[in-house]
Amino acid sequence: MRTSLVERRSVERLLLLVGALRAGLIDALAGEAAPAGEAAPPSEEALSPAQVAESAGTDPRATRVVLAALAAEGIVEEEMGPDGEARYRLSPLGRAHLVVEGPDLERSGLIHEVNKLRGWLELPEVIRTGRPASTGMARQDVRSRALAMGERDPAVLAEVIDRCLTYAGPVRSMIDVGGSVGHLAREFARRGVKTVLFDREEVLPIAREFLGDEADTLTLLGGDLTVSLPPGPFDLVFFGNVLHIYGPPTNARVVREAFRITSPGGVIAIQDYLWGRGREAAMFAVNMLRSTDDGEVWTEEQHREWLSRAGFTEIEVADLETAGSQLVLGRRPAGL
Ligand SMILES: C[S@@+](CC[C@H](N)C(=O)[O-])C[C@H]1O[C@@H](n2cnc3c(N)ncnc32)[C@H](O)[C@@H]1O
């Protein structure tokens, strides 16, 4: 059989899943309808295409065709009803990945992936002009991106936290700059660290919703990190996947500001892709090209320069074992 450069069926599989999610078919199968981006409570009953269509408010013929495709993809299970008509229920795989809160949930992540494709479709224009295709994000896209961040792999979060604490020693206070919905910040709060989650004002309501009662265990602050950071001081100032959004002059300025709010003896930690240290960095840089004004993937040398010029010492760079990205660490000297 001929091999292809691209696994085309996985592109269609992604669009099928997100189409079914967005049209409400998955939630109709799972039980009562849930607001976009939220998981519905489980239902075990197998439903006919007509029942699913009625519950989702969709076209019966299209619903029947899509349900059969979801069955072929293993997302739903098909059985014959007493009338000889097919009935469908979510498979354990579909439920774990699209509905149930847990380590496998990737509902918002898949929706965010499809949102990103809009920008990728404009790539020829981006290459011609060197500018991102469209600026500004629709409200629902901000929401799915934030919730997609909340679905980050728990193993990666655990490794990042362990490495930060091993390097830093005891941490009494920390700020997660660009921390999105607080998926990492809450892990620090759970360990008794006085934690600030800092992100754009519009992300904070989504973070409150994601964190539920745990939101009260953190301080949530809104603002623009390129303008100023909350005063601190903090024993740990953390940037996760943020500096790739901005260009070197902005990053140098933000790192100087980070030094100002780090306690003497405290630590800066930057999780990001570093150019040339893994396969994923180059592709990720194209992602930034299509979505930001001057974001990209920056080198280890650039990170070292930003940190050392700001006054950080003992700079270390580690490749994460659980992800294709790196962790850059530096210390504000105790006497400064
Ligand atoms: C790619 S997400 C990373 C989220 C999280 N740190 C992680 O690694 O999972 C980048 C986050 O930075 C936030 N952000 C980007 N620019 C910002 C700015 N100028 N001020 C505040 N937050 C910003 C975004 O809203 C978003 O939540």
C-alpha dist (Å) from residue 327 to 311, 315, 332: 18, 10, 17
Ligand 1 atom nearest to 224, measured from its CA: 20
Question: What pLDDT shows up at residue 39?
Answer: 53
Nearest CA to ligand 1 atom 27: 180
Helix axis angle, 248-261 relative to 300-310, nearest 10°?
40
Question: What pLDDT shows up at residue 109?
Answer: 94
Nearest CA to ligand 1 atom 13: 178
Give the three-class secondary structure for 201.
helix
- CA dist., res. 307 & res. 147, Å (int): 30
Nearest CA to ligand 1 atom 1: 241
pTM of the model: 0.89
Interval between CA 207 and ligand 1 midpoint (Å) = 12
Interval between CA 200 and ligand 1 midpoint (Å) = 8
Q: Domain extents for the chain?
A: 8-105, 147-331
For 182, which DSSP code?
Answer: S
Question: What pLDDT shows up at residue 135?
Answer: 61
Contact between 176 and 258 under an 8 Å Cβ cutoff? The reply is: no
Ligand 1 atom nearest to 222, measured from its CA: 21
Interval between CA 141 and ligand 1 midpoint (Å) = 14
Nearest CA to ligand 1 atom 3: 241
Find residue 91's DSSP bridge partners.
none
C-alpha torsion 252→218→40→322, nearest 10: 50
Question: 201, 288, 197: which is closest to 246 by C-alpha?
Answer: 288
- CA dist., res. 271 & res. 275, Å (int): 13
C-alpha dist (Å) from residue 253 to 30, 212, 249, 271, 288: 48, 34, 6, 17, 20
Q: Are both 8-105 and 147-331 of the same fold? A: no
- Which is it for the CA torsion 22, 152, 191, 164, positive or negative? negative
Q: Is 182 in the pocket of ligand 1 (CB under 6 A)?
A: no
Q: How far is CA 199 from the centre of its chain?
A: 14
Give the CATH architecture of domain 8-105: Orthogonal Bundle (1.10)
Interval between CA 179 and ligand 1 midpoint (Å) = 6
Find residue 120's DSSP bridge partners.
none
Q: Is 224 in the pocket of ligand 1 (CB under 6 A)?
A: yes
- Alpha helices by DSSP H, the chain: 8-22, 25-30, 49-56, 60-72, 92-98, 107-121, 123-129, 139-150, 154-168, 185-190, 204-211, 248-261, 280-291, 300-310
Q: Is 180 in the pocket of ligand 1 (CB under 6 A)?
A: yes
Contact between 265 and 331 under an 8 Å Cβ cutoff? The reply is: yes
Contact between 132 and 119 under an 8 Å Cβ cutoff? The reply is: yes
Contact between 270 and 327 under an 8 Å Cβ cutoff? The reply is: yes
Q: Is 203 in the pocket of ligand 1 (CB under 6 A)?
A: yes
Q: Is 112 in the pocket of ligand 1 (CB under 6 A)?
A: no
Contact between 132 and 292 under an 8 Å Cβ cutoff? The reply is: yes
Ligand 1 atom nearest to 176, measured from its CA: 6
Tens digit of pLDDT at every position of the chain (336 positions): 888 898 889 999 999 999 999 999 999 999 854 554 555 555 578 999 999 999 999 999 999 999 999 999 999 999 998 888 999 999 999 999 999 988 899 999 999 999 888 888 999 999 999 998 776 666 668 888 889 888 899 999 999 999 999 999 999 999 999 999 999 999 999 999 999 999 999 999 999 999 999 999 999 999 999 999 999 899 999 999 999 999 999 999 999 999 999 999 999 999 999 998 888 899 999 999 988 999 999 999 999 999 999 999 999 999 999 999 999 999 999 976
What single letter denotes the amino acid at residue 62?
A: A
What is the token pair recorded at 210?
């994601």
- CA dist., res. 181 & res. 84, Å (int): 47
Relative to beta strand 326-331, strand 173-177 is unpaired
Nearest CA to ligand 1 atom 8: 240
What single letter denotes the amino acid at residue 34?
A: A
CATH for 147-331?
3.40.50.150
- Angle made by CA atoms 31, 35, 36, in degrees to the nearest 5: 110
Question: What pLDDT shows up at residue 42?
Answer: 53
- CA dist., res. 291 & res. 297, Å (int): 13
Question: What pLDDT shows up at residue 150?
Answer: 87
Find residue 168's DSSP bridge partners.
none
Q: Is 175 in the pocket of ligand 1 (CB under 6 A)?
A: no
Return the half-sphere exposure (C-beta side, CA atoms, 13 A cut-off) of residue 96. 6
- CA dist., res. 194 & res. 79, Å (int): 52
Which residues, at least 6 apart from 113, have a Cβ–Cβ distance to it below 8 Å? 14, 18, 148
